[in-house]
C-alpha cells in the first residue's frame, strides 16, 4: 500500500497515521481505538491524543494523507512511463486497477465506504478525496494529451475510476473471474484509448 513498512525516519504524526492505517485496515472501525493505535505506534495514548484529540479527527487526517499519497503515486507513475517511453494512460490504468485489487486497498476502501454511510464528516471527506484525485488525474493527463479536450479526459478518468471501484468488488475477494484482471485492464485501456483517439483536436 502507500505507507512505508518501516518506522524509521517518520515523524510522530506520520508514525501515528501509518499505524492508524494498519489498524483501520486490519481491524476495521470497530477496532480503530486510540489505545490500539498508540500500542502499535509504540507511544503513550496521551502522546497520540496530543496530536489527534479524537478518533474522528485521526480518521479524517488519515484520509487527507491518503489523498496526498495517491496524488504522488499518480505523478510518479506517469513520470516513470515517460522515462520508459510507455503510454501514460496505460501505465496509469495498470497501476490504478492493480492497486484497487490488492487486499489492503480493498479492505481500506470498503471500510471507508461503510463508515461514510453513517458519518457525514467522513462521507464529505471521502467525497472530497475522490473529487480531488479525479481532478489531479485529469491535470496530469493533460500534459500528455494536450490536444485532447478536458471534457474527454474527464470522461476517461471517470471511466478509470468506475473501473477501479468495480475492481474492489469484483476482484477484491476473488482474483480468478471469467475475465481476469489482466484482460479487464486491457479492455479499459482499449476503450479509453478509443475515446482519446476519437477526440484528438
**Same-domain pairing of 47 and 123:** no
**Same-domain pairing of 43 and 74:** no
pLDDT tens sequence across 12-64: 999 999 999 999 999 999 999 999 999 999 999 999 999 999 998 999 999 98
**Is it the case that residue 8 has pLDDT exceeding 70?**
no
**Is it the case that residue 9 has pLDDT exceeding 70?**
no
- CA angle, 42 as apex, 25 and 34 as ends, to 5°? 55
Three-state DSSP state, 102: coil
100 is written with which cell numbers? 484497487
Q: DSSP letters along 42-102, please?
A: TS-HHHHHHH-SSHHHHHHHHHHHHHHHHHHHHHHHHHHHHHTT--HHHHHHHHHHHHHTS
**Same-domain pairing of 44 and 82:** no
Listed in sequence order, the residues at least 6 apart from 126 whose beta carbon sits closer than 8 Å to its beta carbon are 63, 112, 113, 116
**Is it the case that residue 5 has pLDDT exceeding 50?**
no
Is residue 58 in a domain?
no
Beta-carbon neighbour count of residue 151 at 10 Å? Answer: 10
Is residue 36 in a domain?
yes
Q: Round the average pLDDT of the chain to a whole number and report it.
A: 89
Beta-carbon neighbour count of residue 142 at 10 Å? Answer: 13
**Is it the case that residue 7 has pLDDT exceeding 90?**
no
d(CA 160, CA 186): 12
> Which pLDDT score is estimated for 164?
92
d(CA 7, CA 96): 26
**Is it the case that residue 76 has pLDDT exceeding 50?**
yes
**Is it the case that residue 4 has pLDDT exceeding 50?**
no
- Which one is predicted more confidently, 117 or 74? 117
Is residue 166 in a domain?
yes
Total of domains in the chain: 2
Is residue 88 in a domain?
yes
**Same-domain pairing of 105 and 169:** yes
> Which pLDDT score is estimated for 88?
85
78 burial type by CB count under 10 A (0-12 exposed, 13-18 middle, 19+ buried): buried
**Same-domain pairing of 1 and 83:** no
**Same-domain pairing of 108 and 69:** yes
Q: Could you list the residue range(s) of the whole structural domain that residue 34 is in?
A: 1-53
Closest CA to 158 of 142, 135, 179: 135
23 is written with which cell numbers? 489498524
- What CATH number should be reported for the domain holding residue 171? 1.10.357
**Is it the case that residue 87 has pLDDT exceeding 90?**
no
Evaluated on CA atoms 27, 22, 68, 81, the torsion sign reads negative
Amino acid at each position: 500500500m502507500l505507507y512505508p513498512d518501516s518506522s524509521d525516519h517518520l515523524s510522530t504524526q506520520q508514525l501515528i497515521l501509518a499505524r492508524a492505517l494498519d489498524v483501520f485496515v486490519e481491524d476495521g472501525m470497530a477496532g480503530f481505538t486510540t489505545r490500539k493505535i498508540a500500542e502499535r505506534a509504540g507511544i503513550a495514548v496521551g502522546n497520540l491524543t496530543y496530536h489527534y484529540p479524537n478518533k474522528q479527527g485521526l480518521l479524517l487526517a488519515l484520509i487527507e494523507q491518503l489523498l496526498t499519497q495517491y496524488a504522488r503515486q499518480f505523478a510518479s507513475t506517469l513520470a516513470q512511463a515517460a522515462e520508459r517511453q510507455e503510454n501514460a494512460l496505460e501505465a496509469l490504468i495498470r497501476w490504478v486497477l492493480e492497486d484497487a485489487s490488492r487486499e489492503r486497498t480493498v479492505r481500506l476502501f470498503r471500510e471507508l465506504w461503510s463508515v461514510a454511510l453513517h458519518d457525514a464528516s467522513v462521507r464529505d471527506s471521502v467525497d472530497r478525496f475522490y473529487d480531488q484525485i479525479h481532478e489531479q488525474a485529469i491535470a496530469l493527463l493533460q500534459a500528455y494529451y494536450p490536444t485532447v479536450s478536458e471534457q474527454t479526459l474527464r470522461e476517461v478518468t471517470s471511466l478509470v475510476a468506475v473501473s477501479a471501484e468495480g475492481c474492489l468488488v469484483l476482484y477484491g475477494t476473488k482474483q480468478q473471474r471469467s475475465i481476469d484482471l489482466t484482460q479487464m485492464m486491457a479492455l479499459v485501456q482499449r476503450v479509453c484509448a478509443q475515446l482519446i483517439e476519437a477526440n484528438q483536436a
